Structure formats: C-alpha cells, structure tokens
Chain A
Amino acid sequence: NAGVTQTPKFQVLKTGQSMTLQCAQDMNHNSMYWYRQDPGMGLRLIYYSASEGTTDKGEVPNGYNVSRLNKREFSLRLESAAPSQTSVYFCASRKPGQRYSGNTIYFGEGSWLTVV
C-alpha cells in the first residue's frame, strides 16, 4: 500500500470527543476517498474528493466532515464521536483513467478507531 499514508493507526475515543484522521498520498492522484469497514459490511464510502477543493458525500456521511487541504491531503473529522463510529477507516486515492482502461484505487493501511 505504498503511497497512501494514514494517521493515527489506532485510536480510542470517549463518546462525544472529536478527532481528525489524516491521510496523505504522494502519487499525484486527483481523487481521494474515505471508507469504513465493519464486520460483515464490506467497505462503505463515507466521503470522497474528486479534485482539490471539492468534496462529496458517499454512502454513509452522517457524523463526519472532510477537508481536502491540498492535492496530497484529505482529512476525516468526527466532531462528536459515537460508539456506532467504531470501525476501521481506510483512505484511498485514485488516478482516473480513460474509459475501459486500467482504473485502480490504492488504499492506505487503515486506522482502527474505537469509541467507548
């Protein structure tokens, strides 16, 4: 998973606390994503950013905010953490390809968040 770096790797929060997950990529990719993975649920898209300065909601955006600080960095913020946000969070980036050509997303190694 070289190229996409997430911090922190592990975090325990109390209900109501806030925190920001940081993500940076060095592949000069335009698009960046935040996913969460829960047992038996696969990966679900929280927010994405198609380019610097733009962000859009994914499948499960409630309780989160994002910032595309520059082309390299895309942060995910939990303003008031809830136990339901206990999950593994993955940042990813993608260089959009031409239609019908290689088109892959590269993931970071994940951030394990527990809200108690």
Chain B
Amino acid sequence: DQQVKQNSPSLSVQEGRISILNCDYTNSMFDYFLWYKKYPAEGPTFLISISSIKDKNEDGRFTVFLNKSAKHLSLHIVPSQPGDSAVYFCAAIQGGSEKLVFGKGTKLTVNP
C-alpha cells in the first residue's frame, strides 16, 4: 500500500511558465514533508520542506503548499527554467520515525 503517491509520472511545461507537481499521502501521522530533485546519474538533492503546522513554505522560485484536510501537497516552480528539468520526489516522515517514505517521482521537462 503506497503511502505517498505522485500520480503524474511526467509533466512538460514551457520555460517561464509555472510548474505544479502534486503529491497525495494516506498516512495522517505524517507531519513533515519534503521535496527532492534528482538528475540522471546523481543522488537526490533536498529542495524544500514543510511541516504540518504550516500550509505554505517559500524558497525563491519554489513554493510548497500543504492541504492537510485533503492530505495533499504541491510544489510550484515559478518561473520554470530548463535547468529545472529533473525527476522530483515527494517524501513524508512521521515525527520520531527514521523512515522517510518516498513517492514514485514525477519527471519534469521544461522546454526552452
């Protein structure tokens, strides 16, 4: 049973436009959520996170929104750049746990 779901395997957007990547979770005990970015042949790198006591966190072009009632979070990238083309993983963790649970990832392609 997948606890973190990224239902869109891929997303293609034009440079300069907004990219919206979505993530749903089923475990209501998760209280911290992270987004990781992964380029081919590299390890994932941390992008942005949000705790369950917030509904928005912003870092430059990246904003993560959390809707706890819907068990849904989204990552907004504005404006999108070709260098943002990568696989984005949503992840969640429960306080006190060591087990970070990942979604299957969404491959973002930003076209020039």
Contact = CB atoms under 8 A, between A and B. Distances in A.
B98 A4 contact: no
B26 to A, nearest CB: 15
A99 B95 CA distance: 7
Interface residues of A, number: 31
A53 interface: no
Interface string A29-46: 001010100001111110
B60 to A, nearest CB: 16
Interface in A18-38: 31, 33, 35
Nearest to A41: B104
Contact of B100 (A41, A99, A105, A109): A105
A105 B46 contact: yes
B32 A43 contact: no
A74 interface: no
Contact of A42 (B43, B93, B99, B103): B103
A1 B45 contact: yes
B86 to A, nearest CB: 14
Given A41-B104, A43-B44, A99-B95, 5 more contacts: A4-B43, A45-B101, A56-B98, A59-B99, A101-B51
25 contacts: A1-B43, A31-B98, A33-B100, A35-B102, A42-B89, A42-B104, A43-B89, A44-B102, A45-B101, A48-B99, A59-B99, A90-B43, A99-B95, A100-B31, A100-B53, A103-B32, A103-B49, A104-B46, A105-B100, A106-B46, A107-B36, A107-B44, A107-B45, A110-B41, A110-B42
The 10 closest A-B pairs by CB, nearest first: A107-B43, A42-B104, A43-B102, A104-B46, A42-B102, A100-B51, A1-B43, A109-B43, A107-B44, A48-B98
